Structure 1
């Protein structure tokens, strides 16, 4: 063999090692170290801006939060794309179950094998269960988030094999938080769905979408689910502002929105309880996470000692969200005194309180 052939052979061998053998070996090493037979192997998150850590950074939509003052109280004051001043409830849950400190967005192209294996968020700010809702703001539909999860599974099977991937999927924690945009942005703000559905029939329509989505995850091998209910939508600062004749003086919650949330939450909880009853023998752990009650307590001043409950920390707090909350906006000194960070989304402290309240439900999912 000539020296040129020898040199070419070593180049080829180096390429194969660096880009095929070494990554695969690293993945297999991680897989052996990962306690797949423990209670939780990974965390996967689906939904809207309440659980989107930055997927919208990578799509063409105006619904973004990857600039200051968003992330002002996050590690290194990093505006990751989370619609808050700091961490989201999904981050607190991931840390609590011992998976990771922060849940990254699936669309981040820099994610390594270890980050992928321990879980990601597929959520997209502005999304909802109704297929029409994400089209309004050009964000990722929940159905597309499910497709991304299937894509993720195929990627993982290549890296660590089908058997290990199946075990990881089975032992993972699945957090789903969506629905607010279906009502606030879609049903109440636009005429299309209202012309076709009464409010109760629209709720039934959404619950059918929830059922289909969960069936899709179940078919992929998911078994441990937590579904977040709706907040008191009539108390969101932007809802109060848009529906008040004098939005600055009168800051009372709008009952029609909040009563719709109460009705839908009851229907969702009943549906999830029925699923848990019928699927428990197949290893299902399905829980409903109530955020309506705790947020109502914060807003009504019954608990937690917040100074401001009807406006957000950013700007006037009455209308600002996404690009209206920007580096030139006035921002309150201490966001932990505010229930809301902007006119829609809770502050990091509010998210942490919500996590603490639902922790017992999380324990049910992750117990042996």
Structure 2
């Protein structure tokens, strides 16, 4: 009888401790807060005076309900998938969504705006929200939390949320040509990396303590760049663009490591370049059939308004493609990357 009581007591202790651990894990990261570009934009561009919108079919054809929400994908994007991975929600709202209620802010938002970059000129050219203006909206977000839920709740969310910064592709692929008289490819990539570090410092000053920064992707391998600059017959990856991305990464990674040692909290460099490049070079290894064209339209130049419901060539099985349009991956490709990376990095922020 005493032995039975002892076993029951031990089991109870294990259950209580397990529940405490689970609850502790859930409250460790109360919200996901995202800054950046179209990779993470869940609809912030919808009401902006810009051509860079995607709140129309066939965008969103694989999103729950088949709705075009303003995500530059066939379905959900990394903002959503990472929020789900953290156990917060299946979708992350866009901060500029006019229908958001105070309660909707508690599990996080994305301030990301398709077409933006670290270079302020990028957002100006595209008529979108710069990452620097996204910081201003972030301050507004914290003020709203304070007004609706009090100083303590706001402080808790501010200090314990996971922050992601995802940018640089538009700078490298588009804005460099306008900056080429002032910068070499190397010096421009370094300028962008230094800007990213400055952004993280500013975010830390505002109270963020768990910050992840994505590397540049192999932007020279997206279908649009391959079509425009990869050769008429070969449509190969554009090496100068990929080399700029690598230079950005080689400058950013050690700078963030130094920042992590200097500042309190956790600052992570998240390498997505190698994962996406390997997927593009070996699609079948990951269960994809097409890596050099997008699903939408003919997949070579179709993006934003050029990817529309009048285009009869959009594929039916988008999960067979790495790219949805000529610039952005499909939900399935995003899922592969998120699953691969977050298992590696998330343990560092809990």
- Cα deviation code 1:13-41 (max 9, x no counterpart): xxxxxxxxxxxxxxxxxxxxx98992101
Aligned to 2:73: 84
**Are 2:135 and 1:146 aligned?**
yes
Q: 2:320 aligns to what?
A: 337
| Structure 1 residue runs without a partner (length 5+) | 1-33
Compared CA separation, residues 72 and 93, structure 1 to 2 (3 A): same
* Distance apart, 1:300 and its partner CA: 0.9
1:290 partnered with 2:271: yes
Structure 1 position 105 matched with structure 2 position 61 = no
- Matches of 1:347 and 1:37, distance apart in 2: 28
Match of 2:6 in 1: none
Q: CA RMSD in A?
A: 1.6
Distance in 1 between the 2:231 and 2:189 partners?
A: 28
Pick the aligned partner of 1:212 from 165, 179, 198: 198
Check the 8 A contact 1:45/1:123 in 2, yes or no: yes
**C-alpha distance in 1 between matches for 2:151 and 2:193:** 32
**Cα drift, residue 245 of structure 1:** 4.3
Equivalent of residue 266 in structure 1, options 250, 254, 261: 250
CA 1:37–1:293: 2 relative to 1, 3 Å? closer
Q: Does 1:48 align with 2:40?
A: no
The more displaced of 258-267 and 65-74 is: 258-267
Is residue 322 of structure 1 aligned with residue 311 of structure 2? no
Distance in 2 between the 1:35 and 1:328 partners? 50
Could you say which residue in structure 2 is the equivalent of 1:252?
Answer: 236
Give the whole-Å Cα distance in 1 for the aligned partners of 2:183 and 2:245: 16
Q: Is residue 159 of structure 1 aligned with residue 142 of structure 2?
A: no
Q: Offset of 1:333 from its aligned partner?
A: 1.4
Give the ranges of 4+ consecutive aligned residues of structure 1 lying more than 4 Å apart after TM superposition. Answer: 34-37
Indicate yes or no: 2:282 matched with 1:301.
Answer: yes
Unaligned runs of 5+ in 2: 1-22
What is residue 9 of structure 1 aligned with on the other side? Answer: none
Match of 1:122 in 2: 111
Q: 2:87, 2:348 → 1: CA distance?
A: 14
Match of 2:189 among 185, 203, 221: 203
User: Residue 225 of structure 1: which of 204, 211, 216 is its match?
Assistant: 211
> Measured at CA, do residues 245 and 37 of structure 1 come closer, stay the same or move farther in structure 2, by a change above 3 Å?
closer
**What TM-score, normalized by structure 2, do the two folds share?**
0.90
Q: What's the counterpart of residue 13 of structure 2?
A: none
1:74 is aligned to: 63
SS at match of 1:49: coil
Asked if 2 retains the 8 angstrom alpha-carbon contact of 1:289 and 1:361, the reply is no
CA shift for structure 1 position 360: 2.6
Q: Aligned partners of 2:261 and 2:349: how far apart in 1?
A: 17
Query: Match of 1:277?
Result: 261
Distance 2:238 2:148 in 1: 51
Deviation at 1:261, TM superposition (A): 1.1
In structure 1, the residue matched to 2:3 is: none
2:126 corresponds, among 134, 137, 141, to 137
Please say if residues 190 and 247 of structure 2, whose CA atoms lie closer than 8 Å, have aligned partners that are also in contact: no
- How many residues are matched? 326
Match of 1:169 in 2: 158
Deviation at 1:362?
3.6
Q: 2:339 maps to what in 1?
A: 356
8 Å contact from structure 1 (residues 85, 347) kept in 2: yes
Given that 2:193 and 2:249 are in contact with CA atoms closer than 8 Å, whether structure 1 keeps it comes out as no
- SS of structure 1 residue aligned to 2:46: helix
> Structure 1 pair 263/42, CA: closer, same or farther in 2 (3 Å)?
same
1:366 partnered with 2:349: yes
TM-superposed CA distance for 1:268, in Å, is 1.1
Alpha-carbon deviation of 1:306? Answer: 1.3
Which of 347, 354, 368 matches 2:330? 347
Give me the TM-score of the superposition, normalised by structure 1: 0.86
Instruction: Check whether the contact 1:37–1:171 (CA below 8 A) recurs between aligned residues.
Output: no
Contact 1:339–1:350 (8 Å) recurs in 2: yes
